[in-house]
Structure 1
Amino acid sequence: MEFSCLPPPEMMWGDVDGHHKYRIGEMPEDGRLCIASLEGKHGLQLCVRGDGEGSDNGWVLERRIRMKKVLDAIPSLPKDPLARHFRLWLGDMDPGRTGRVFINTMGCGNFSYHMETGKLECLTTEDGMTFGHPIFAYFSAPESCSA
């Protein structure tokens, strides 16, 4: 097996001072390697591996989603950008290829955000409790599978 080191895209480090939060995953459509970041004024950025025009360390910006209005809908999340930065992070990317990312907050709940529809859903259990941290977006094997 051969390993390599892939530096993250420089574009994601624009206005961040060493406290950058990102996650690695697969694109929902085709399984390409991607990296996502949820930072300040840039919102949700999603880059994929590629050599095309604008390539940055071998990454190409696939989409950028402004998240201010979406995150403003979370009532207990601070409105101050600096306080907000320290209270939220991108928890995971959905390996089930549904186009969702998981957004975690410190004390304000955990959420699922669908990148295509723009829908933000609070992750709660059947009894109304909020899912804890960490959330790992992996699926259990069907009952018919045995070890």
Structure 2
Amino acid sequence: MVDSTVSEINVKEIDSILLPGCMDIITIIDGQGLFKFIKQVASEETVIASISSSPFLLAKAGVLKGKKFTVGLTKENMEKLGVFETENYSDELVVQVGNIITARGRGFIRFGIYLGKALNLEFDEKWYQEKF
């Protein structure tokens, strides 16, 4: 159950949004209210953190135009969706451009570190070690 809808949120009262991925991101492809909200938040100095398939929402809202990004979708799916500037795609696990952080799902630890730093939180970056 949600606490509030995007239409109820005052963007001047938030410092960040976190967009998780999901198995079927296409189910919200027509969520115009959501895309309007994302555009509005992006025009503020709000940290936007998006992981897995959810950078699709940023691309659909026009927030990734001209920006380097990563996403947990195949190149074929990105092309099929038609909203990504694939020339700006990066294979990196996490990409940060200004206040926008995108990540592929398996980069969740590094993603959390980037988000914590963007929010100026105090934490031990080595609390969990990635194994390569």
- TM-score (normalised: structure 1): 0.26
Name whichever structure is richer in strand by fraction: 1
Which structure carries more helix by proportion?
A: 2
Q: TM-score, normalised by structure 2?
A: 0.28
Higher RCO, 1 or 2 (CA under 8 Å, sep at least 6)? 2
